[in-house]
């Protein structure tokens, strides 16, 4: 299992007139979480697009909202990969508020798509290699 944590503050633009973070904005938080998770593996999502020619469109997104998150909170996004990806990759994400309480849980499934061919492909070898240490063999 691969686990990564990243922290940042809620921006004003991300709140709505309820005074909470707008429900659609969590998708950005999960994105930041997985981008930083990939960077921690010594790869970047940007390189994946530019050098490996692979992009990762989202296939499904499931979110449970347990508690609201507020403006200026320093939140922690925990990003997990629990199984070696092949055709798709599943990220599990959790958002914790500044008190350490779980506020939001999500599962995001993405495909690997060859940018030129516009066809789904397997996880790039570069990426797989970096994950192998977390999934034994």
Task: Output phi, psi for 110, to 5 deg.
Answer: -125, 150
7, 9, 11, 16: which is the annotated catalytic residue?
16
Of 5 and 31, nearer to its own copies (C-beta) is 31
Q: Which is nearer to its own copies, 2 or 15 (CB)?
A: 15
Tell me how far, at minimum, the Cβ of 32 lies from its own copies, in Å.
Answer: 6
Q: How far is the CB of 75 from its own copies (least distance, A)?
A: 14
Cα angle for residues 61, 67, 108 (degrees, 5° grid): 15
> Of the two residues 12 and 136, which places its CB atom closer to its own copies in the complex?
12
Whether 16 is a known active-site residue: answer yes
Strands (E), 10-134: 54-55, 58-65, 74-81, 88-96, 102-114, 119-121
């Amino acid at each position: 299992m691969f686990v990564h944590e990243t922290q940042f503050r809620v921006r004003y633009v991300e709140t709505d007139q309820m005074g909470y973070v707008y429900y659609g904005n969590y998708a950005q938080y999960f994105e930041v979480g997985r981008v930083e998770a990939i960077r921690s593996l010594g790869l970047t999502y940007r390189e994946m697009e530019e050098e490996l020619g692979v992009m990762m469109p989202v296939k499904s997104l499931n979110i449970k909202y347990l508690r609201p998150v507020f403006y200026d909170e320093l939140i922690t996004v925990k990003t997990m990969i629990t199984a070696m990806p092949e055709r798709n990759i599943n990220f599990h994400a959790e958002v914790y508020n500044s008190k350490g309480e779980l506020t939001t849980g999500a599962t995001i499934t993405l495909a690997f798509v060859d940018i030129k061919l516009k066809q789904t492909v397997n996880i790039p070898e570069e990426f797989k290699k970096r994950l192998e240490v977390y999934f034994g063999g």
